Amino acid sequence: VMRFEREAQIIGRLDHPNIVRLYRFDEQDGWLYMAMQHIEGTDLGVVLAGYRADQELMDPEDARRIVREICSALDYAHHEGVIHRDVKPANILLDRQGRAYLSDFGLALITEIGTRGEIFGSAHYIAPEQAVSSAKAVPQSDLYAIGVILYEMFTGDVPFKAATPLDIALLHISEPPVPPRQLRPDTNPELETVILKALAKKPEERYPTGAALSDALELALNARSAATLLAPRSA
């Protein structure tokens, strides 16, 4: 009950076009409920699974737009003193026009209150410091998760996989990710640099804000487009 009320209070104070809106929360006949904005569409996890099944990758323009919108939502939440702590494709909703919405603040950390650090998060997308203790989560922990999502968008898989969530978390803490170009040789160097910086082990070595990350991604994708335009045509 406390977690439910806490999530409702967190969402209720956030007002951003890329964050799912909460209209009200209450109790009725012993049932707790939240009335939230209905996003007609799907979630990014389903979309990425579809690309993976077809052995295809997401269109770079779609990836650029989704990342920019979610990074904007995260920057806003961080400014309001809220760290999401569970950013993953299943928590990014996409409406029928392709607009992205950040949802599910059930594990959020209110920076002014803190936490005892026993909440884990989703192993495939967890930042190293958060894997040690969720109390150590910082805004760059959410941006690390965006780095994992970028890796998945542009290689078709997450950077770390293992038999158990704990084993996956240990890989996040101790092992460098396989460079994207080893998996997808056509990945341009600028894009690989952005992804690997977002996945740096230390928070201070990552992008300081979502805006900085999405700007870097845009430059990298523009470099790829320019390289394609400048490539000599075959006879």
Catalytic residues: 86
Quote the Cα angle for 85-212-206, to 5°: 55
C-beta separation of 165 from 191 below 8 A:
no
Q: How far is CA 175 from CA 152, 159, 160, in A?
A: 17, 10, 9
Paired residues of 175 in beta bridges: none
Alpha-carbon distance values, 218 to 3, 95, 127, 215 (Å): 37, 22, 23, 5
**Gap between the Cα atoms of 63 and 150, Å rounded:** 8
Cα 188 from chain centre:
21
SS3 31: strand
